[in-house]
């Protein structure tokens, strides 16, 4: 399995996020990726390289998944932030005001003139700081996803897009949950365009992949499934319920498997079997796995209890789908263990594939 890693990831290093009523150091830190890289160097699964995709291809692949108005905002957001006040160059941009989208009077067609309002319009939480290096890092992550999809198109059976910030919470026109560009969706769309008629996304991060779900919600060609903490009590709260099954042409092509906080490996593995059966029934010819390791018992912000020794079997179960597979790196905040857990899963996949 080739790994494409993002050389620009460390340029995205938020200082603080809003967490339970106070500002705390960001959970989503550059060291997360460094631990995975270090473990891949100890236990190689294949070549490690930065992605090589040209700029116009990359721009086109991103624009297949995200709205032009959102991309125009994101590409210049940092400059807009600093233009408001030169002192902002030392501070992360965090939103502090949001429109209530479902209330009377919300005008999605009007781009606010104030940057703070624009940042609110395009985001859904106060935990996702936008920094000087965010756009370059997010774009580098999209390049990893595109390179991984292309590796499959060239005959590889699997590929790993190792990047941060993560992507599965980013929607067509919104950021949040530490995510800015949806790497998994970009990979899935690239696989569609490489000739796969049906692509499945099976999200194993602790948190519901609300961005990915939203991107493909009305489509029948990309089946999205997610196993996650029940949004009744867990982030991102407003999406991820079992009765969200897709809409329009996409009805029946979204599967949410919410599990109670505190769930252990037995319950989680049963949900994985359900999701894998649904992927088989759908008839996908390629699979994208948004790979979060925050299902781990030691994760500081999550509530499942999987152990380091469980992940190899999870990888083997994913391999049982028998599909060419792209993995994108998502959550996992027990930084010291995230590399071991990730490589355990990927190695388990590769040995069984
Ligand atoms: C990202 B991924 C809100 C912060 C709440 C956000 C968790 C994001 C998880 N102020 N925490 O799915 O691992
Ligand atoms: Zn997560």
Which residue among the candidates 169, 196, 208, 228 is catalytic per the annotation?
169
- Pick the residue with more confidence: 105 or 134? 134
Q: What is residue 102's predicted lDDT score, i.e. its pLDDT?
A: 79
Cβ(54)–Cβ(135) below 8 Å: no
Would the pLDDT of 324 be above 90? yes
Q: What is residue 336's predicted lDDT score, i.e. its pLDDT?
A: 98
Return the axis-axis angle of helices 265-282 and 311-319, rounded to nearest 10°: 10
% of the chain exceeding 90 in pLDDT: 96
Closest ligand 1 atom to the C-alpha of 209? Answer: 12
Determine how many CB atoms are found less than 10 A away from the CB of residue 28: 22
Instruction: Tell me the per-residue pLDDT of 268-283, one tens digit each, with 9 for 90 and over.
Output: 999 999 999 999 999 9
- Classify the complex by whether its ipTM is higher than 0.85, answering yes or no: yes
Would the pLDDT of 251 be above 90? yes
Question: Does residue 231 have its Cβ closer than 6 Å to ligand 1?
Answer: no
Q: What is residue 328's predicted lDDT score, i.e. its pLDDT?
A: 99
Q: How confident is the prediction for the chain on average, in pLDDT?
A: 97
Question: Does residue 140 have its Cβ closer than 6 Å to ligand 1?
Answer: no
Quick one: the chain helix, strand, coil %, rounded to 5? 40, 15, 45
Q: Whose CA is nearest to atom 13 of ligand 1?
A: 331
Cβ(181)–Cβ(175) below 8 Å: no
Q: CATH homologous superfamily of domain 2-15+27-50+134-352?
A: Histone deacetylase domain (3.40.800.20)
SS3 292: coil
Q: Could you tell me the pLDDT band of residue 107, with boundaries at 50, 70 and 90?
A: confident
Cβ(61)–Cβ(181) below 8 Å: no
Would the pLDDT of 348 be above 90? yes
Question: Does residue 329 have its Cβ closer than 6 Å to ligand 1?
Answer: no
Q: Whose CA is nearest to atom 9 of ligand 1?
A: 177
Domain residue spans of the chain? 2-15+27-50+134-352
Would the pLDDT of 106 be above 90? no
Question: Does residue 330 have its Cβ closer than 6 Å to ligand 1?
Answer: yes
d(CA 127, ligand 1 centre) in Å: 7
Q: What is residue 209's predicted lDDT score, i.e. its pLDDT?
A: 98
Distance between the two ends of the chain, CA-based, in angstroms?
11
SS3 48: strand
State how far the Cα of 322 lies from the Cα of 304, in Å rounded to an integer: 27
Q: Is 169 a catalytic residue?
A: yes
Q: Could you tell me the pLDDT band of residue 109, with boundaries at 50, 70 and 90?
A: confident
Q: Which of 340, 351, 347 is nearest to 36 (CA)?
A: 340
Q: What is residue 5's predicted lDDT score, i.e. its pLDDT?
A: 98
d(CA 163, ligand 1 centre) in Å: 17
Q: Could you tell me the pLDDT band of residue 125, with boundaries at 50, 70 and 90?
A: very high
> Nearest 5°: phi and psi at 307?
-110, 160
Q: Could you tell me the pLDDT band of residue 80, with boundaries at 50, 70 and 90?
A: very high
What average pLDDT does this structure show over 91-99?
95
Helix (H) or strand (E) holding 271: helix 265-282
Quote the Cα angle for 196-197-199, to 5°.
Answer: 70
Question: Does residue 294 have its Cβ closer than 6 Å to ligand 1?
Answer: yes
d(CA 131, ligand 2 centre) in Å: 20
């Amino acid at each position: 399995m080739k790994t494409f890693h993002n050389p620009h990831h460390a340029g995205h290093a938020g200082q603080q996020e809003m967490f339970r009523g106070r500002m705390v150091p960001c959970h989503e830190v550059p060291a997360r990726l460094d631990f995975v890289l270090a473990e891949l160097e100890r236990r190689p699964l294949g070549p490690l390289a930065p992605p090589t995709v040209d700029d116009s291809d990359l721009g086109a692949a991103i624009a297949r998944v995200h709205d032009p108005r959102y991309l125009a905002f994101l590409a210049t957001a940092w400059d807009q932030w600093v233009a408001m006040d030169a002192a902002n160059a030392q501070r992360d941009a965090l939103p502090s005001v949001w429109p209530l989208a479902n209330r009377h009077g919300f005008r999605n067609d009007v781009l606010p003139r104030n940057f703070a309002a624009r940042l609110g319009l395009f985001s859904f939480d106060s935990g996702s700081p936008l920094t000087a290096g965010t756009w370059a890092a997010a774009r580098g992550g999209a390049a990893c996803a595109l390179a991984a999809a292309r590796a499959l198109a060239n005959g590889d059976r699997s590929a790993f897009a190792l990047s941060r910030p993560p992507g599965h919470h980013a929607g067509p026109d919104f950021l949040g949950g530490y995510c800015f560009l949806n790497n998994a969706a970009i990979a899935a769309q690239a696989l569609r365009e490489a000739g796969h008629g049906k692509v499945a996304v099976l999200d194993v991060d602790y948190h519901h992949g609300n961005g990915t779900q939203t991107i493909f919600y009305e489509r029948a060609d990309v089946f999205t499934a997610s196993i996650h903490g029940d949004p009744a009590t867990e982030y991102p709260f407003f999406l991820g319920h079992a009765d969200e099954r897709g809409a329009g042409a996409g009805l029946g092509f979204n599967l949410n498997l919410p599990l109670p906080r505190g769930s252990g490996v037995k319950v989680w593995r049963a949900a994985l079997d359900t999701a894998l059966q649904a992927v088989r029934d759908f008839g996908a010819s390629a699979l994208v796995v948004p790979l979060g390791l925050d299902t781990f018992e030691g994760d500081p912000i999550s509530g499942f209890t999987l152990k380091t020794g469980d992940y190899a079997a999870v990888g083997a179960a994913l391999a049982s789908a028998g599909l060419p597979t792209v993995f994108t790196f998502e959550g996992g905040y027990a930084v010291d263990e995230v590399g071991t857990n990730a490589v355990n899963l990927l190695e388990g996949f590769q040995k069984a594939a």
